[in-house]
Each structure stands twice: as C-alpha cells, then as structure tokens.
Copies of this chain bind each other. A is one copy, B any other.
Amino acid sequence: MSSHRSEPLFDVAQLAHIEIYTPKLEASVNFFKAFLGMQETERSGQSVYLRGFEEWYHHSLKVTEAKKPGFGHVGWRTTSEKALQRRVKAIKTTGLGKGWIEGDLGHGRAYQFTLPDGHLSEVFWDVGKFVASEEQRSKLLNRPQKRPLQGIPVSRLDHFNLLVQHVKPNKDFMVESLGFKVQENIVMKDGEEIGSWLSIDDSVHDIAMLKDPEGASGRLHHITFWYRFPSQVDEIADVAVEYGIPIITQPGQHGIARTRYIYLEEPGGNLVELGQGGYEILDPDWTPITWGEEDLSLALVHYGASFPEDFLARGTPPV
C-alpha cells in the first residue's frame, strides 16, 4: 500500500468536523440535540454548529440547510502548521486542490480539495477551542463540559462513510496524499475492492468508503457518533422506538472494526450511526485485514443479523 514510502506519514492528526446537508434544518438540529444530547455552539446563515459533550473544539458537526440531504464537507486537522504546508503541497500535485479559504466558524484558514469522487474536503491547522461557561464547566479537568442531562448524549464524532463510484482511486488518494492507513477492506472475487476502512489514528476508521451500488458519485453513506457504554446503543434504540425515529438496523455488532452499532435516519434523511467499542491498531506494520466475497455477511454483521437489502445503497442524496 505504501511501498513507495519508506516510513509512515504523520501529517494529518484527526477528523475534526463534518458538514451535512438537510432539507429540514430545525428537525435535523432537534434530532442531534434532543435525542443525541449534542450542544449547539453557534448559528450562522443556514448552518448550525454542534458538538458532543466530550469534544474540545468549537464543533464537530455543521448542519446546513439544502434542497437535498447529503455530504457537505469534511475537515481534517493537521499535526502542525508545517505538516499542513506539506500536505497542501502534496495535494496540489494531484490536481485535486481547490485553494485556500479564510476559514469558518471554529477554525482558521483551510486548504480545500476534493476526493477523486468529488467529496469536498479541507485540511487546516488553526482551530477554535470550545470554552465552557462557568455553569457548564465540568469538575473533571479532562472533560470540556458537564455531561448533559438531555437524551442519550453522544461523546464525540467518530468517523464517516462515503459512497464512491470506485474505491481504489479515492483510497489511494487518502493513503498517498494524506498518509492514511488502510486498516480493513473488502475485495471481491474479481479483485475489485468494494470497501475500504482507513484511519489516521489508532482506530480502524476515520473514513470508510463503499462502492456506490447506484454508481453515483459524491454521496454520503453515514456519519457516526460514539458512546462510552455499550448499553447506550440499546437506550438510543429504545428512545428511537418511543419517539418515532426510523431505526434502519437494530443494535448489532460489525465484524469489520468489531464495533457495536445502530443506524438511525435523522429527519433530513441522512443515515446516522451510533457506535461503541471496536479495537485499536498499534502495530506499525499492520497488514490490512481483507474480507473476501464469502466473508461479506460476517464482515458486516458479526452476530448474524440481516441488514435491509438496500442498506449499502442507502446514501444521501437519494438517486
């Protein structure tokens, strides 16, 4: 995968924020606040900025009103200002760069680019940290604010999953230009990689990519927020039934990444996963775990549930 590079690259530090589009701004924001206990940091124009209560930055989620649901953009924070410069230089050589923007609420200037499949992305260094008010301040010095009393509050953004026309070019771009590691993937009998799980940290995925069964470009499959207790996944399931939030898959366990999950549909139509668990990859010469066509059901669902038939195609915007 990175045979052209003698040593790993550490210039991107983390997934910092994601923007999603929704045709129902207030209903979507209410979903994230009332049920997932997220905090509204700020509003500007047609956008609302939100964060989980254990997140240190201004926001991890930007919800923007649009005609259709779907993917807005992703923001990656680099490990330093120099690392940012190095990555911009590398991106420019690919022809996918779009140029610098002055920044947004919550971060300074950023360099924008697209994935080969078209998904808007940015890298940046200067970030705005969240500062709790006196009343919000947690007694725990290592927690940015008090645990909220509303809903089943998520801790933080974990990863997101894109639908792409072809996995390989998008994966290669993330690996070669940004230094991501392929941790697990799915390769069919004909040799085509139809899914790839990549991360820049110790986890299995900060970003995952699935071949879009509809053959479309630029779609979002889902975004994922994280819980600290396994039973919180069951509690949000319970809440979803009570308050009429569509459950797309009941709580289960993925084979890939070994995470506990539930998939809900937020009012704007985007798929939202609530996850917990998983495993760490610290081995510096990790060989990506490759699941074959015959392993598909175990890869998807460790304990044997069946997913809705259209699950993999369930991207936004719908085609």
Chain A interfacial positions (CB closer than 8 Å to B): 6-8, 10, 13-15, 34-35, 54, 56-57, 77-80, 82-83, 138-143, 146-147, 149-151, 155-156, 184, 201-204, 228-232, 234-235, 237-243, 247, 249-253, 255-258, 260, 262, 277, 279-280, 282-284, 289-291, 295, 298-299, 301-306
Q: Which residue of B lies closest to A141 (CB)?
A: B289
Q: Does A14 lie within 8 Å of B284, measured CB to CB?
A: yes
Q: Find chain B residues with CB under 8 A from A258 CB.
A: 140, 142-143
Given A34-B149, A79-B8, A230-B231, also A303-B247 (CB < 8 A):
yes
Name which residue of chain B comes closest to A286, CB basis: B56
CB nearest neighbor in B for A258: B142
| Copies of this chain, whole number | 4
In the bound complex, do residue A140 and residue B77 qualify as a contact, i.e. CB atoms below 8 Å apart? no
**Are B290 and A141 within 8 A (Cβ)?**
yes
17 pairs, A vs B, C-beta closer than 8 Å: A6-B82, A7-B82, A15-B282, A35-B149, A56-B283, A140-B255, A141-B255, A142-B256, A143-B258, A147-B235, A147-B238, A147-B242, A150-B150, A231-B232, A234-B253, A238-B303, A240-B303
Query: Do A305 and B242 have beta carbons less than 8 Å apart?
Result: no
Contacting residues, chain B, for A291 (C-beta < 8 A): 141
Query: Assuming A234-B253, A241-B304, A250-B303, what are 4 further A-B pairs, CB within 8 angstroms?
Result: A14-B283, A80-B284, A146-B242, A249-B305
Q: How far is the CA of A78 from the CA of B285 in the complex (A)?
A: 10
Residues of B within 8 A of A8 (CB): 10, 79-80
B252 pairs with A250, CB closer than 8 A? yes
Residues of B near A231 (CB, < 8 A) are 229-232
A257 to chain B, nearest CB (A): 8
Contact A279 B239 (CB under 8 A): no
Which 8 A/B pairs are nearest by Cβ-Cβ distance? A14-B282, A250-B303, A13-B284, A250-B305, A229-B231, A146-B242, A237-B303, A79-B284
Chain B positions within 8 Å of A78 at CB level:
284
A34 cross-chain contacts in B, Cβ below 8 A: 149
Do residues A241 and B303 form an inter-chain contact, with CB atoms below 8 A?
yes
In the bound complex, residues from chain B placing their C-beta under 8 Å from that of A279 are 54, 142, 155
Identify the interface centre among A79, A228, A255, A256: most chain B CB within 10 Å of its CB: A228
